[in-house]
Amino acid sequence: MPLIYGLSSNGIDQAIFHVASALEVPVLILALLALALVIFELGGYVVELARRRRRRFDDLRRAADQASQALARGDRDAARTAVTGIASSSAMAATLAFIVDHAGSPGSEHELNKALADFDFDSQRRLARTRLLVRAGPALGLMGTLIPLSPALTGLAAGNTSQLSHDLRVAFSVTVVGLLIGAVAFGLSLSRDRLYSQDLSDLQYIAAVISDPRPPGGNSSSPSPPTPAAEKTEPATRSTGS
């Protein structure tokens, strides 16, 4: 019985060793692909940041007022042109066009809310790529570190220092790459979350302004009713004068 147990245990150990050894090359390839992807995402982030560098609330308010005035005249083309300059991405431009096309129509409130929710969902989908790399990068680095250690220890036991040096070099290099992927992806996720939240806030402001039934640029000309305090003090003023 102990002999059978020893043979089965040795077979399981060998099977796990072969599986881990077979994963070495795929893990290294995935680590390189993850590094290329995080570099691509970093370049896209730089472009997104450059588009938002000149964002000003005065420009946003001016565009919203112009679009509201154009919609009041029934000119949706002019309204669409007014808000084109504040779009910082293609997804934001498409959402702005949808808001202008449907603002003021019957049932538009629900359609605008759905468009804003879809924009937020699309932003979260773009953030999911870098959030995945935050976890996948260190995981690949850890796997790429542990897998070469087994042949490295075998080489150490056999006195093969060249194999030991090669395997340790691969292990430590993959560790550095994995940590780099995770750190860069974490920073991108935090910064992009802030940028996309600002975009959603701008879209909500635009939707609220151009959907407001009141005239843009000021209040209505009808006088406001007197406050209860004024109504109470008016008889007292007359009695004093008399």
User: How many independent structural domains does the chain possess?
Assistant: 1
The reply to whether 232 falls in a domain is no
The reply to whether 227 falls in a domain is no
The reply to whether 146 falls in a domain is yes
The pTM assigned to this predicted structure is 0.73
Residues contacting residue 67 through CB under 8 Å, at least 6 positions apart: 78, 79, 80, 82, 83, 100, 206, 209, 210
The reply to whether 220 falls in a domain is no
The reply to whether 7 falls in a domain is no
The reply to whether 189 falls in a domain is yes
The reply to whether 71 falls in a domain is yes
pLDDT at residue number 41: 92
The reply to whether 17 falls in a domain is no
Per-residue pLDDT of the chain (242 residues; tens, 9 = 90+): 454 455 456 678 778 877 878 888 899 999 999 999 999 999 989 988 888 777 788 888 888 888 888 888 878 888 888 888 888 888 888 888 888 888 877 777 888 888 899 999 998 988 998 999 999 999 999 998 888 887 777 777 777 778 788 888 888 899 999 999 999 999 999 999 998 998 898 888 888 888 765 655 544 444 444 444 444 444 444 444 43
Q: 3-state SS of the chain: helix, strand, coil percent to 5? A: 85, 0, 15
Which residues form the domain of 89?
Answer: 22-215
- Cα 165 from chain centroid? 42
Closest CA to 65 of 179, 231, 234, 218: 218
**Helix, strand or coil for residue 48?**
helix
